[in-house]
A and B are shown apart, each in its own frame.
Chain A
Amino acid sequence: MNTPVLMSLLIFIVLIFIIGFWSSRQMSRRQGSFLHEYFLGSRELGGFILAMTMVATYGSASSFLGGPGAAYTQGLGWVLLAMSQVATGYFVLLILGKKFAIMARKYDAVTLIDFLKKRYESKAVVLISAASIIIFLFSAMAAQWVGGAYLIESLTGLTYTSALFIFAVAVLIYVIIGGFRAVVVTDTVQGVVMFFGTIIILIGTIIAGGGITNIMNDLVAENPNLVTPFGHDGGLTPAYVSSFWILVGVGVVALPQVAVRAMSYKNAKAMHRALIVGTIVVGVIMLGMHLIGVFARPILPGLEVADQVMPLITMEVLPPWLAGIVLAAPLAAIMSTVDSLLLLVSSAVVKDVYINYIKPEATEKQVKRASFSVTAVLGVLVFALALSPPDLLIWLNLFAFGGLEAAFIWPLIFGLYWQRGNKWGALASMITGVTSYIIIHQFFPNPLGMHSVVLPILISFASYIIAVLLTDKHERQIAV
């Protein structure tokens, strides 16, 4: 692989380290609690940073590699599907919104589980939540590492193992030093790189294809289905495409890595700003990246691995030095996703299990040491798993997001907006949601032509309400 590409990647990683050190110095100067600072950045995020960190966390390997790959195969129908994600730009912040921000402060909550713990006052809710987060996010994270290593491998020509090693060392040093604040600050850098990178590659691709009209004509000539909303073989039905509004649109509210950001901003002004910036950035990145996948088809016909379309088209249409800078973006996306997942899983272990139930009297110093070591141990474990990803892991990753949504969406939403909501509702909803999702995903995929996540979300909705109605009287008597 050529030197300019490597150079800019290297510069990028060094830049990340510098930001990490800087952030951690900020941290040691601050007087506040270590937990707040390490896992939450002391609730001081401004609007622009909040928007970028949400975008970068959400825009993972799947949207930078898998998404354009699918668009390459399916045509404009997949871009249509991807546009359901624009909703995340405004929906998450408006729904969780000010209520979540106020409640999180009132409860002194640092993670999603903190919130659920204080809201429902139930050990079972906390333990089930922590288990869901540890299992689902851990596997989602390992798959991201595999993606990151593949990318480094294809850019540098190193072996998979060395690529994975480089990736792991960079991520670990970074997360351990910096904590949440460092992660968000780089998220911002990465979000900006992704945003402009998308625009630059899109323009380059359109020029290389001889204009949009030309590209469309080529696509129609190859297969007219590519310009319809129904996918290359007519297989994308309206019901299936629409159900992605649940999986990657509104359901995203319930992802712990997204929810934690919705409690970390400074004030209402920051939230308002993030709404606007977030909608613009998510919209442009989603539209642009997936369009690139489609437009690349006439330029690079017959790719064997469609997921490679993004790196390949970038190196095809841009001068090498620019390609290097822009290709830092997918790497950035993967790294920042991994960073925040790592942080979340370790917060689930340290805060939600260790401090809550194992050693409530732990001192600040012990908490600090526990956080660092858990993060490091997790990193090593993920590395070991990613070396030869077991089948189970891939299977788990495929439905990690759906599982988290089925588990958390109603306990979170009802917890915020329904005063009568109680722990029985939360438990019923989490258990039925996760179980039915696993069963449907495994044995009856895509029922009624919709994505497997839709029915479990409805089932967990009903369970929550039924359980609350059944136990409401009893709970109120206790309360009085």
Chain B
Amino acid sequence: MDDKKEPKMEDPRFKIANREAIIGVALVVFNFLWWYGFAYGLGSGPVEEYSYILGLPAWFFYSCVLGLAVMIILVIIIVKGFLKEVSFEDDWGQKK
């Protein structure tokens, strides 16, 4: 995103914003794969062969219950470790 042809200078905050949007897409792709993989990977067999965890079918436990816990932890890690604080006001970067 560093094309120099644009007459206006690219706002440095947008670089951060773009990066965070990509993180959002990556998170949702991961979430989907986890959800889909466990649900249909473990849940497609006959019901008699299901194993159960905490009383719930294993596919459901891994896909939905554990999946939710994993997503919550991931979001916390990303927020604490990867998101940057920026000011939303227009005078960003200029000394007042």
Contacts and interface: CB of A to CB of B under 8 A. Distances in A.
- Classify chain A's interface size: 35 or more
Interface in A249-268: 249-250, 267-268
Interface residues of B, number: 50
Contact of A283 (B21, B71, B87): B71
A180 B7 CA distance: 38
B70 to A, nearest CB: 11
A242 interface: yes
A268 B85 contact: yes
A311 B23 CA distance: 39
Interface string B30-70: 01100110011001100110101011110110011101100
Contacts of B79: 272, 275-276
Contacts of A269: 85
A338 interface: no
A417 B72 contact: no
Main secondary structure of the interface of B (DSSP, over half): helix
A272 B84 CA distance: 9
Given A76-B60, A238-B36, A280-B72, A95 B47 contact: no
A216 B55 contact: yes
Contact of A216 (B11, B52, B84): B52
B11 to A, nearest CB: 7
A228 to B, nearest CB: 6
Contact of A102 (B17, B35, B47, B71): B17
A105 interface: yes
A238 B40 CA distance: 8
B13 A98 contact: yes
A86 B59 contact: no
19 contacts: A86-B67, A87-B31, A91-B28, A97-B21, A98-B13, A98-B16, A99-B18, A105-B90, A212-B54, A225-B47, A227-B47, A227-B60, A229-B63, A245-B28, A245-B32, A249-B28, A268-B83, A272-B83, A287-B68
Given A229-B60, A275-B75, A417-B18, 5 more contacts: A76-B60, A95-B21, A97-B17, A98-B86, A275-B79
Give 5 closest A-B pairs by Cβ, nearest first: A94-B24, A212-B55, A99-B17, A213-B55, A224-B47
